[in-house]
Amino acid sequence: MKKLFSFIAIIGIILASNCSRIPENNDAVIGIWANTSSLTNSESSKSSIRFEWIFNDAYLGRYHVLEDGNIVVETDFKWTQEDGIYTISYPGMDKADDLVSMEESEEGTVLQDAKGTILAIRE
Domains annotated on the chain, with CATH: 9-15+22-122 (2.40.128.360)
Residue type, 118: I
DSSP at 18: H
Higher pLDDT, 5 or 89: 89
- Ramachandran assignment for 8, one of left (phi > 0), alpha (psi -120 to 50 degrees), beta (any other): alpha
- Amino acid, res. 69: G
Q: Report how far residue 64's alpha carbon sits from residue 119's, in angstroms, rounded to the nearest whole number.
A: 13
As a whole number, mean pLDDT of residues 33-44 equals: 80
Helix or strand holding residue 26 (H, E): none
Q: pLDDT tens digit string along 76-93?
A: 999 999 999 999 999 988
pTM equals 0.77
